């Protein structure tokens, strides 16, 4: 069973502060993804990566940066957190093409 | 523009009946992959079933099946003999792009409630 671990699971941040959400996968998957989930919007893609050193912009990248320092790790960085970034964030990983992705348990971020 | 659209916000059906959830998508790619995922009450998101765009036969896994209508860019999820534990939010997703560098776009989800 593929394992994707997100940390922290819950985070309260102050407006203007820096936040880093971490994701680790132990399945040697090339592709990794960051989504946010908000009521009425489903899962929206923020950034994704197809291997160590690569990051690509998703559909809503503004206000977020991503980092893929290794095959196993993919981070999402909020340099200047805003209340509008309060959400639940999911990381996922998967092999290319027609295989499914595996999700972490999510990180609930509250920006006050 | 929304590339994966689920118009049904919520559906409620009686246990042991059949339910269909709709999904339409937009893509310029000639080859793509369509998925359905389920999010349980605990928040866990799990894969259910997949359809490859080049396959004409509808995919079936257990009591889940797909109604793939390529000319209409439609991929419906059918659940037969529903059970209480099927109550969840269901997401349709599309994977497109070059091999190894693919985006996966999700719809807004349909909340399914199974009544006893």
- Contact at CB, A43 and B91, closer than 8 angstroms: yes
Question: What is the chain B residue with the closest CA to A91?
Answer: B45
Rounded percentage of chain B residues whose pLDDT exceeds 90: 88
The pLDDT value recorded for residue A95 is 87
B81-105: burial string, b at 16+ Cβ within 10 Å, e else: ebeeebbbbbbbbbbbbeeeebbbb
CA dist A82 to A3, A77, A108, Å?
A: 30, 12, 14
Q: Is the pLDDT of residue A16 over 90?
A: yes
Q: Is the pLDDT of residue B1 over 60?
A: no
Rounded percentage of chain A residues whose pLDDT exceeds 70: 98
Q: How confident is the model at residue B102 (pLDDT cuts 50, 70, 90)?
A: confident
Is A34 in CB contact (< 8 Å) with chain B? Answer: no
The pLDDT value recorded for residue A1 is 67
- Window B:59-78, CB contacts with A under 8 Å: none
Which of B50, B103, B108 is opposite residue A100, by nearest beta carbon? B50
Q: Is residue B35 within 8 Å of B92, Cβ to Cβ?
A: yes
Tell me the nearest-neighbour CA distance from A84 into chain B, angstroms: 18
Q: Give tens-digit pLDDT for B69-91.
A: 999 999 999 999 999 999 999 99
Q: How confident is the model at residue A36 (pLDDT cuts 50, 70, 90)?
A: very high
> In a mutagenesis test of the B interface, which of A43, A45, A105 is the best target, namely the one with the most B β-carbons within 10 Å?
A43
Tell me the nearest-neighbour CA distance from B102 into chain A, angstroms: 7
Q: Is residue A88 within 8 Å of A36, Cβ to Cβ?
A: yes
Q: Is residue B72 within 8 Å of B19, Cβ to Cβ?
A: no
The CB-based long-range contact list for A65-73 (8 Å cut-off, 24+ gap) reads: A66/A34, A68/A32, A71/A28, A71/A29, A71/A30, A72/A24, A72/A25, A72/A26, A73/A22, A73/A23, A73/A24
């Amino acid at each position: 069973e593929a394992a994707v671990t997100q940390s922290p699971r819950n985070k309260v941040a102050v407006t203007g502060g820096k936040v880093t959400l971490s994701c680790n996968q132990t399945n040697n998957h090339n592709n990794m993804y960051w989504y946010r989930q908000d009521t009425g919007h489903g899962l929206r893609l923020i950034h994704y990566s197809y291997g160590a050193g690569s990051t690509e912009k998703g559909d809503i990248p503004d206000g977020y940066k991503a980092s893929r320092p290794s095959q196993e790790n993919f981070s999402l960085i909020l340099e200047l957190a805003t209340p509008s970034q309060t959400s639940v964030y999911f990381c996922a990983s998967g092999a290319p093409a027609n295989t499914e992705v595996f999700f972490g348990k999510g990180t609930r971020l509250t920006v006050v | 523009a929304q590339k994966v659209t689920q118009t049904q916000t919520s559906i409620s059906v009686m246990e042991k009946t059949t339910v269909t959830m709709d999904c339409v998508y937009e893509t310029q790619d000639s080859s793509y992959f369509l998925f359905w995922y389920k999010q349980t009450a605990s928040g866990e998101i799990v894969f259910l079933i997949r359809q490859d765009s080049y396959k004409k036969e509808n995919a079936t896994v257990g009591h889940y099946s797909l109604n793939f209508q390529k000319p209409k860019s439609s991929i419906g999820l059918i659940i037969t003999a529903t059970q209480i534990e099927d109550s969840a939010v269901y997401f349709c997703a599309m994977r497109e792009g070059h091999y190894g560098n693919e985006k996966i776009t999700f719809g807004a989800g349909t909340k399914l409630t199974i009544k006893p």
